Structures are given as structure tokens and as C-alpha cells.
Amino acid sequence: MPRASQASPHDSAPQVRRADSPPAVAPSAQTGPSAQTSPSAQTIATNVRRLMAREGLTFGDVVSATGLDERTIRGLVRGTNNPHARTLHKFAAGLGLAIDELFQPVGRSPRQAFDRATNPIVGSVIESVARQNGDLFAAWSDADFDELYSQFGAGGALNEAGVVTAAETINAKRALLRKVTVILESSESELLADFVKLLYRRVTDVASSADLRK
């Protein structure tokens, strides 16, 4: 009597996935720490902080203007989640902004990227001030923020007090320049121009003398 041939385990038996095996995931849909937040989320977060500081807005102000809850606003500021398109449109519309302003590249030049990487406390202080009182950064331009990030203390990167002091110095300089602009449009413009020439000559002469003594 012929023996029945035994089926090899490698024959066409259906493959069954173990119950405890993770499902196959396409590479483009994989999840994980690197996929939870995209670079655009961090860009949006930086721009939200910048815009809130520029307009002098607190979290309460943004909640009232946009209708978004404070938890959502804080998530945008921290960049911890990838925000939904509806949330971004609601945020921008409530504040009267163009949606593109939320996606402006941050640190476009190597110098700007370096300044932000070596002065990380600046972003935290901007967020903190925006949460409490945004007057310190009211009406700031991108150039003002770039200047703040470029500031360094005696020992290196700024601490929180150093950031506030640097911001106050920038504001004082802006206020002075506004006054100078007003004077230049008045009948006293020539007097101011002569005075500036005199001061400039004194400053450059002192610098030249110091260089000669070296």
C-alpha cells in the first residue's frame, strides 16, 4: 500500500499572522516620535509666538479673537502636535492674518539659524511674555526678533533677565530712531545733521586712536 506523501511545511499552506504581531505598515504611514510632529509644526509654533509677541497678544486675547480653546493655542505655541488645517485657518482669520504668515521659513540664513540654536532661551521668554503681557514685543518686526536672537551676554547665551534687558534696549533704540525721524522732517533737521556729524567724528576718532595704541 503506497504511503501518503506528507505535505512540507513550506508548501502552499496559508500564512497566518500571529495575534500578537504588529500589523504591517507602509513606510509612508509609519508612526513614531519622528512622525508625530513635522518640521512644519515647529515652523508654525515659532511664527505663532512671533506674531503673538509682535501684536502684544496674550493667550486670553487669542482665545477671544479666534474662538479656539486655550489648550489648542498652547499646542500651537509649543509645536507639540501637527495642527489641523481648520485650526490654522480659524487662528489666522480670527487675528486678521494671511495663512501664509504661519508658514514663513524661520532662520532663513545660516546666521539666523545659528543665533536661534545658540540662544534657545529667547523663544521661551517670548512665549512667557506673550502669555502674560505682550507690550515688550508690541509691533516688533522680523528684523527686531533677529536682532534679539543675535544678542549674547558676557558668558555666552542670554538668560531670561538678559533677554528682557536686550528687548528693552531694542525698544529704546526704536523709540530714539522714531524721534530722529520726526526731527529730520522738521526745520531742525540741519541742526540734528550737524550734531550727528560731530558725534560720529568723535566716536570714529576715539576708535582710531585705540587701534593705534594696540
Mean confidence (pLDDT) of the chain: 75
Over residues 158-170, the pLDDT tens digits come to 788 888 888 889 8
Q: Which of 128 and 174 is assigned the larger pLDDT?
A: 174
**Section 48-53 average pLDDT:** 82
Report the topology of domain 35-106: 434 Repressor (Amino-terminal Domain) (1.10.260)
CATH code 1.10.260.40 region(s) in the chain: 35-106
Distance CA(107)–CA(43), nearest Å, equals: 10
* Lowest-pLDDT range of 64-68, 149-153, 201-205: 149-153
Q: Which of the pair, 13 or 163, is modelled with greater confidence?
A: 163
User: C-alpha angle 79/63/83, rounded to 5°?
Assistant: 30
- The string of DSSP codes covering the chain is -PPPPPPPTTSSPPP---TTSPPP--GGG--SHHHHS-HHHHHHHHHHHHHHHHHT--HHHHHHHH---HHHHHHHHHT-S---HHHHHHHHHHHT--GGGGGPPSS-SHHHHHHHHH-THHHHHHHHHHHH-GGGGTT--HHHHHHHHT--BTTBS--HHHHHHHHHHHHHHHHHHHHHHHHHTSTTHHHHHHHHHHHHHHHHHHHHHHHHH-
Q: Does the reported pTM lie above 0.95?
A: no
What does the block give as the cell for 203? 566716536
| 206 pLDDT above the threshold of 60 | yes
**Top-confidence residue, 119 or 109:** 119
C-alpha distance across the termini of the chain, in Å: 111
Could you report the per-residue pLDDT of 71-108, keeping only the tens digit for each?
898 888 888 778 888 999 999 999 998 888 888 876 55
Give tens-digit pLDDT for 130-184.
Answer: 667 667 887 787 778 888 888 876 666 778 888 888 888 988 998 998 999 999 8
Supply the pLDDT for residue 209: 65
Answer whether residue 31 shows pLDDT above 90.
no
pLDDT at 50 over 70: yes
